[in-house]
Structure 1
Amino acid sequence: MSDLVFIAFDSEQKAEEVRDRILGMQREYLIDIGDAVIAVRDDKGRIKLNQLMNTTAAGAASGALWGALIGLLFMMPLAGAAVGAAGGALGGAVTDIGINDEDMKRQANEALKPGMAGLFLLIRKMTTDKVLEDLKGVGGTVIRTSFDHALEDKLRASLDAPAPAAPAPTETPSA
């Protein structure tokens, strides 16, 4: 079962920084993310979603490839690629992978002030103690989670904790 987490940040840059950190933890197999989306509320109050994968572009590329291959059969590869790209882009635009876009926009609209950003995470599984240690001191406000109360409290405490101090540089003896 997956868990949904929504954390608000003061800026899009901070949300991007935390998402990059979490994706780094995924490369280390500490966390398995199903989706990681940044929602940004602009000065006019509109919500923009910054998805990891652009399904419209992926659909267009896939459609163009298949359209060109089918077009080769009918000696019209360019027309086939154009029709395939259009169809793939349309299919990609209506495809919603991961967290429901409308739900994210609704939650972001309720929680974020203009200029703020929120990070939505769909977490499949994680090594809780190591992930929370890596997130210590990054800031942000937990808006909503599907964690149990104990784990949600640990996440809040980890985000609010002071960042770990960088190790002091060691002096090398001079010759």
Structure 2
Amino acid sequence: MSHMIVFASPTLDGAYAMRDALDDLRAFDLVAVKDAAVVERLPDGAVRVRQSFNLVGAGALGGAAWGALIGLVFLSPWLGLAVGGIAGALAGRFADIGIDDAFIREVGEGVPPGSSAFFLLIDNWEQSKALRLLADFGTTIIHTSMPPDEEARLRAFLAAAEE
């Protein structure tokens, strides 16, 4: 079962540092991440969202490959490559997988200016090891989709790490 956890960081770089630490956990197969995102609330109040998966780039690459292949059939691979790349990029731009973008923006509007939030959608994780690493960042939990007992244990662990 997937769980979503949203961590708030008091700095703009805090969420990025958590994302980088999570990449280390993923390299050792201690966490299975379905999606992750970082939202920054800049000092001027603007919200900037950074998704972990670039669907526009992936769509453009896939579309270009298929377009070139179909273009070979019609003896115009370059035209097929261009049309397929544009179509794939547009499809990637309007696709949404993982964490809902509207929810990310909504939470981003709620964090104080000059801070950030880290969104994490996980399938399973080695909770004790992951929590020890994530406790070093001084974050608080904004939202989870975990069962109440697991959420309470997570919040208690992070509160004890702050002391």
Cα pair 1:138 1:159 within 8 Å, conserved: no
CA RMSD of aligned residues (A): 1.8
**Cα separation, 1, equivalents of 2:50 and 2:12:** 10
Structure 1 match to 2:50: 50
**Cα separation, 1, equivalents of 2:156 and 2:20:** 21
Unpaired runs of 5+ in structure 1? 164-175
> What is the percent sequence identity of the aligned residues?
37
Greater Rg, structure 1 or structure 2?
1
Structure 2 match to 1:91: 91
Structure 1, residues 41-75: CA drift from partner, whole Å, max 9, x if none? 12332322111111011101111111111111112
Higher RCO by CA contacts (8 Å cutoff, separation 6 or greater):
2
User: What code does the residue aligned with 2:24 have?
Assistant: G
How far apart are 1:162 and its partner, in Å?
5.3
Structure 1, residues 113-157: CA drift from partner, whole Å, max 9, x if none? 122110000011112222212223221111111123333233334
Aligned length: 162
Structure 1 length as normaliser, TM-score?
0.84
Structure 1, residues 56-103: CA drift from partner, whole Å, max 9, x if none? 111011111111111111121111111101100010001111101111
Alignment of 1:58-77 (within 5 A): 58-77=58-77
Secondary structure class of the residue paired with 1:135: helix
Structure 2 length as normaliser, TM-score?
0.90
Secondary structure class of the residue paired with 2:75: coil
